[in-house]
């Protein structure tokens, strides 16, 4: 079996693309992991309210951009170009960043990336770091590695702070504490923040104020900061961080040493390409015209900001994703989280069920590719193939197509095989399928209720046994019949 | 093999199928054709709950409530005309602790984007170091109308990527608690914009 990072014995010799390690693997099959969330009414209510709110905001600000589709086309093409030229662009980035005074490091896998950050922190003489929210550092489990090395890591994003104090893991890319409501957050603050007032109210403004006070002294005295980056610009060596609270600016500006952990796929060819991505990202993610703060830095600026600037370029399975021409576009993802917010499976199962730092539809295609499909075999099934994720993706990643592609590689769980066979039998015959649909639509037949969730996301709620095992915690989609049937034919 | 060489070799191996060259279609808007850019900017800024004032004369009134004011070393002298409070010039550089106790910071900007309500600072004239506009709780920013562009592509064309940049769209905010927007977590909690026209003799 492919084991993370240490697999250098593959067919192509030492340089064969290798799978990744870290928090990208489901410890349990998805249906099992999803069970507690599906049963937790509070959690489902929190998730439902949050995803519905962000969906509406996103739709509103996307609608006011007349050239949205043209921006998506450009974004998608730029990322495809990046993937095609990744080795050369990385070398160009390294040269530009180095010329500007940064030090560039390379990490084959999670463990190597962590070792580099620990060594740099020690060299700076620090025993604590402040961190700005970063998917890459969660992926490589940096906080755990720092702790093991005796270095305290403080998350400074409000949601990450809530999750860290709650000794929990994030459940959403953009709003990591989406699964908590205000009362639960107040409870965590009172339990874990010595400086929280005893009569703390659960008003969001009061909770944010406590977090501000809690972190401010730490910001003003921190010597080392760790960040990720949303984009790394090959022609200038510039790194870009997009955020809301200002904790990012604090981390990127005040400490003496700044270490940025960046996946190799984050490259953009030119500074000008930001004109596309800085339009696509905020509207897709928070549903804002622009996020409150964007920071850009290029190496070291004398007398302004950190004077020791490090960039750790991480592979950790990305070369394995690149090696699959069908799955490759997963590397285009800009982590906007729009696909999570429209996904009927995510809305019910929550982020933790995916077991990876990358939940939702993008996680269902990215994680199995990073680890090797055999190690994450249930994730490609964590979807109804309804296509809503593809519709909202700002860089047009065809997530359903990649899901189907990965399912063909995954070993099928036995029960799933049986239910799939039944579904296949139903769907293979246009007449049976049409009958099933008609029965479903009138709501009287054995196939249960048909419903129109949203435009383009039509789902069947329940199927008869044994298919009921499959639809108990997820809905069966009624996708564009042609493509779906083609797929079933191939099974 | 070094990690660098190994990763680059892995990536080259991964591209063994030689994907064809990609044409990037740039059919998106590069220039904003609306004549009322300044009005659009004001609308967007206010939508983010920044406070907008028109004309340099408004500045004196704003500063009247400020006791201690941090400023970049090259602040135009006219902006401080009549100001009676304490001026903390950033030379020698003010420490984070010193910045933490001022009431406000006053700067200019490099460019402002009407479409998104974004003000961009690139440490150029009248802007100072990044820390200056970060630590104080209130940021007063003078924006000249000739610095206003319509769309993001127009703004990027005016910027030097090598200069550190801070893009600001409204005050610091979080939506992490039940998606309620709360202004001011770590950055300045108040953003006030003074729009100065070209015909204004003090606007330059
Ligand atoms: S796959 Fe697309 S929609 Fe989902 S997070 Fe990535 S960029 Fe956003």
B119 occurs within a structural domain? yes
The yes-or-no verdict on residue A6 having pLDDT over 50 is no
B188 Cβ under 8 Å from any chain A Cβ: yes
The yes-or-no verdict on residue A458 having pLDDT over 80 is no
Mean pLDDT of A399-423: 69
> Which whole-number Å values give the CA distances from B201 to A283, B41, B56, B78, B144, in the listed order?
38, 22, 9, 10, 12
Q: Are strands A308-314 and A257-263 parallel, antiparallel or unpaired?
A: parallel
- Mean pLDDT over the full length of chain A: 83
Q: How far apart are CA A205 and CA B177, in angstroms?
A: 9
Q: How far apart are CA B4 and CA A107, in angstroms?
A: 7
Higher pLDDT, A484 or B28: B28
What is the number of other CB atoms lying within 10 angstroms of the CB of residue A412? 15
Q: Which chain B residues touch A327 with a CB distance below 8 Å?
A: none
The yes-or-no verdict on residue B125 having pLDDT over 70 is yes
The yes-or-no verdict on residue B42 having pLDDT over 80 is yes
Among candidates A159, A220, A296 on the partner chain, residue whose Cβ is nearest the Cβ of B176: A159
Nearest CA in chain A to B97: A220
Least confident residue range of A247-256, A307-316, A482-491, B140-149: A482-491
Q: For residue range A48-75, what is the model confidence (pLDDT) as tens digits?
A: 888 999 999 999 999 999 999 999 999 9
Exposed/middle/buried for A23, CB within 10 Å: 0-12, 13-18, 19+?
middle
* Atom number, ligand 1, closest to the C-alpha of residue A365: 1
* Atom number, ligand 1, closest to the C-alpha of residue A392: 3
What is the number of other CB atoms lying within 10 angstroms of the CB of residue A274? 24
Q: How confident is the model at residue A422 (pLDDT cuts 50, 70, 90)?
A: very low
Higher pLDDT, A447 or B22: B22
How many structural domains is chain B composed of? 1
Alpha carbon nearest to ligand 1 atom 4, residue: A339
The yes-or-no verdict on residue A489 having pLDDT over 60 is no
Q: How confident is the model at residue B172 (pLDDT cuts 50, 70, 90)?
A: confident
Nearest CA in chain B to A323: B14
Measure A4 CA to ligand 1 centroid, in angstroms: 25
Residue with tokens 């003074």: B194
Q: How far apart are CA A474 and CA A254, in angstroms?
A: 47
CA distance B165 to chain A (A): 5
Q: How far apart are CA B135 and CA B101, in angstroms?
A: 9
Among candidates A77, A159, A322 on the partner chain, residue whose Cβ is nearest the Cβ of B24: A77
SS3 A293: strand
Under 8 Å between Cβ of A55 and A283 = no
Per-residue pLDDT, A487: 41
- Mean pLDDT over the full length of chain B: 92
Residue-number span of the structural domain to which B145 is assigned: 30-203
Q: Which of A62, A175, A334 to mutate to test the pocket of ligand 1 (most atoms within 8 A of CB)?
A: A334
The yes-or-no verdict on residue A11 having pLDDT over 50 is no
Least confident residue range of A88-92, A340-344, A430-434, B92-96: A430-434
CB contact under 8 A, B172 and A295: no
What is the number of other CB atoms lying within 10 angstroms of the CB of residue B200? 15
Mean pLDDT of A175-181: 85
Q: Which chain A residues touch B178 with a CB distance below 8 Å?
A: 46, 49-50, 181-182, 204
Mean pLDDT of A379-385: 85
Exposed/middle/buried for B18, CB within 10 Å: 0-12, 13-18, 19+?
exposed
SS3 A470: helix
Per-residue pLDDT, A175: 81
Taking Cα atoms as reference points, which of A145, A128, A79 lies closest to residue A277?
Answer: A79
B5 occurs within a structural domain? no
CB contact under 8 A, A220 and B29: no
| DSSP letter (8 states) at residue A193 | -
Nearest CA in chain B to A206: B182
Inter-chain CB pairs, A–B, below 8 Å: 258
B187 occurs within a structural domain? yes
The yes-or-no verdict on residue A287 having pLDDT over 60 is yes
B25 Cβ under 8 Å from any chain A Cβ: yes
* Atom number, ligand 1, closest to the C-alpha of residue A173: 5
Q: Are strands B104-107 and B68-71 parallel, antiparallel or unpaired?
A: parallel
Q: How confident is the model at residue A169 (pLDDT cuts 50, 70, 90)?
A: confident
Mean pLDDT of A201-227: 89
CATH number of the domain at B80, please: 3.40.50.10420
Measure A280 CA to ligand 1 centroid, in angstroms: 11
Chain B contact probe: residue of A50, A92, A115, A319 with most B CBs at under 10 A? A319
Mean pLDDT of A208-217: 86
B67 occurs within a structural domain? yes
B135 occurs within a structural domain? yes
Least confident residue range of A12-26, A281-295, A382-396: A12-26
The yes-or-no verdict on residue A415 having pLDDT over 50 is no
B31 Cβ under 8 Å from any chain A Cβ: no
CA distance A128 to chain B (A): 19
Mean pLDDT of A180-185: 90
Q: In percent, how much of chain A has pLDDT > 70?
A: 81
Measure A334 CA to ligand 1 centroid, in angstroms: 6
Q: How confident is the model at residue A273 (pLDDT cuts 50, 70, 90)?
A: very high
Per-residue pLDDT, A67: 97
Least confident residue range of A292-296, A440-444, B198-202: A440-444
The yes-or-no verdict on residue A110 having pLDDT over 80 is yes
Under 8 Å between Cβ of A185 and A204 = no
Q: How confident is the model at residue A208 (pLDDT cuts 50, 70, 90)?
A: confident
The yes-or-no verdict on residue A167 having pLDDT over 70 is yes
| Strand residues in A315-372 grouped as ranges (E) | none
Q: How confident is the model at residue A209 (pLDDT cuts 50, 70, 90)?
A: confident
The yes-or-no verdict on residue B75 having pLDDT over 80 is yes
Per-residue pLDDT, A400: 94
**Which CB contacts under 8 angstroms, 24+ apart, belong to B87-91?**
B90/B128, B90/B129, B90/B132
B131 occurs within a structural domain? yes
Per-residue pLDDT, B199: 59
Measure the CA dihedral B32/B38/B39/B44, to 10°: 80
> Which whole-number Å values give the CA distances from A434 to A245, A299, A420, B112, in the listed order?
51, 61, 18, 56
* Atom number, ligand 1, closest to the C-alpha of residue A360: 4
B24 occurs within a structural domain? no
Q: How far apart are CA A131 and CA A227, in angstroms?
A: 6
Per-residue pLDDT, A36: 83
Taking Cα atoms as reference points, which of B96, B101, B120 lies closest to residue B109?
Answer: B120
Residue A322's contacts (CB-CB under 8 Å, 6 or more residues apart) are: A17, A83, A86, A328, A331, B11, B14, B15
The yes-or-no verdict on residue A438 having pLDDT over 60 is no
Mean pLDDT of B108-126: 97
Q: Which of A82, A360, A397 to mutate to test the pocket of ligand 1 (most atoms within 8 A of CB)?
A: A397
Q: Which chain B residues touch A220 with a CB distance below 8 Å?
A: 96-97, 100, 135
B10 occurs within a structural domain? no
Per-residue pLDDT, A486: 45
Mean pLDDT of A297-318: 97
Mean pLDDT of B63-87: 95
The yes-or-no verdict on residue A348 having pLDDT over 80 is yes
Higher pLDDT, A226 or A410: A226
Among candidates A74, A294, A315 on the partner chain, residue whose Cβ is nearest the Cβ of B26: A74
Q: How confident is the model at residue B168 (pLDDT cuts 50, 70, 90)?
A: very high
CB contact under 8 A, A272 and B156: yes
Per-residue pLDDT, A469: 44
Q: How far apart are CA B88 and CA A384, in angstroms?
A: 60
Higher pLDDT, A473 or B54: B54
């Amino acid at each position: 079996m492919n084991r993370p990072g240490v697999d250098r014995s593959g067919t192509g010799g030492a340089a064969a693309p290798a799978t990744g390690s870290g928090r990208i693997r489901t410890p349990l099959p998805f249906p099992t992991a999803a069970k507690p969330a599906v049963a937790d009414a509070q959690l489902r209510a929190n998730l439902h309210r949050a995803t519905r709110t962000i969906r509406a905001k996103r739709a509103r600000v996307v609608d006011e951009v007349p050239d949205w589709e043209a921006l998506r086309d450009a974004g998608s093409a730029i990322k495809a170009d990046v993937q095609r030229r990744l080795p050369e662009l990385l070398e160009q980035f390294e040269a530009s960043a180095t010329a500007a005074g940064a030090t560039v490091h390379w990490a084959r896998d999670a463990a190597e990336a962590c070792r580099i950050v620990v060594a740099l922190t020690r060299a700076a003489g620090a025993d604590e770091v402040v961190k700005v929210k970063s998917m890459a550092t969660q992926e490589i489990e940096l906080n755990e590695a720092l702790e093991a090395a005796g270095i305290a890591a403080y998350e400074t994003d409000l949601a990450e702070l809530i999750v860290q104090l709650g000794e929990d893991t994030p459940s959403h890319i953009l709003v990591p504490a989406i699964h908590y409501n205000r009362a639960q957050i107040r409870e965590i603050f009172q339990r874990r923040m010595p400086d929280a007032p005893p009569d703390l109210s659960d008003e969001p403004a009061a909770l944010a104020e406590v977090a501000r006070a809690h972190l401010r002294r730490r910001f003003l005295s921190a010597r080392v900061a760790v960040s990720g980056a949303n984009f790394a610009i090959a022609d200038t060596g510039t790194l870009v961080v997009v955020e809301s609270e200002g904790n990012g600016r604090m981390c990127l500006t005040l400490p003496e040493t700044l270490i940025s952990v960046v996946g190799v796929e984050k490259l953009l060819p030119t500074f000008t390409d930001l004109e596309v991505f800085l339009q696509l990202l905020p509207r897709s993610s928070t549903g804002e015209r622009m996020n409150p703060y964007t920071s850009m830095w290029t190496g070291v600026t004398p007398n302004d900001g950190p004077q020791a600037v490090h960039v750790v370029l991480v592979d950790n399975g990305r070369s394995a994703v690149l090696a699959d021409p069908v799955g490759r576009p997963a590397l285009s993802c800009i982590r906007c989280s729009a696909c999570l917010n429209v996904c009927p499976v995510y809305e019910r199962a929550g982020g933790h069920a995916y077991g990876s730092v990358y939940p939702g539809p993008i996680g269902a295609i990215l994680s199995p590719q990073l680890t090797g499909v055999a190690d994450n075999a249930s994730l490609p099934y964590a979807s109804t193939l309804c296509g809503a994720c593809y519709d909202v993706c700002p860089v047009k990643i065809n997530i359903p197509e990649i899901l189907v592609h990965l399912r063909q590689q995954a070993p099928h769980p036995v029960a799933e095989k049986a239910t799939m066979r039944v579904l296949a039998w139903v769907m293979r015959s246009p007449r049976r399928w049409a009958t099933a649909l008609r029965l479903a639509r009138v709501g009287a037949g054995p196939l249960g209720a048909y419903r129109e969730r949203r435009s383009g996301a039509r789902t069947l709620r329940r199927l008869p046994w044994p298919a009921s095992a499959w639809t108990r915690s997820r809905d069966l989609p009624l996708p564009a019949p042609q493509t779906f049937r083609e797929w079933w034919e191939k099974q | 093999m070094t990690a660098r060489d190994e990763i680059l070799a892995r990536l080259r191996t991964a591209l063994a199928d030689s994907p064809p060259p990609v044409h990037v279609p740039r059919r998106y808007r590069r220039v904003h054709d609306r004549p009322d850019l300044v009005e659009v900017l004001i609308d967007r800024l206010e939508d983010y709950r920044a406070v907008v004032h028109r004309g340099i004369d408004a500045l004196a009134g704003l500063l009247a409530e400020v006791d201690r004011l941090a400023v970049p070393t090259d602040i135009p002298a006219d902006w401080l005309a009549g100001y009676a409070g304490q001026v903390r010039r950033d030379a020698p550089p003010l420490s984070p602790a010193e910045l933490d106790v001022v009431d406000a910071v006053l700067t200019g900007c490099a460019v402002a984007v009407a479409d998104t309500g974004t003000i961009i600072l690139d440490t150029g004239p009248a802007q100072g170091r990044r820390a200056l506009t970060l630590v104080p709780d209130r940021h007063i920013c003078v924006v000249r109308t000739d610095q206003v562009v319509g769309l993001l592509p127009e703004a990027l064309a005016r910027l030097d990527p090598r200069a550190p940049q801070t893009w600001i769209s409204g005050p610091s905010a979080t939506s992490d608690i039940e998606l309620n927007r709360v202004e001011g977590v770590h950055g300045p909690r108040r953003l006030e914009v003074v729009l100065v026209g070209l015909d204004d003799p003090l606007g330059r």
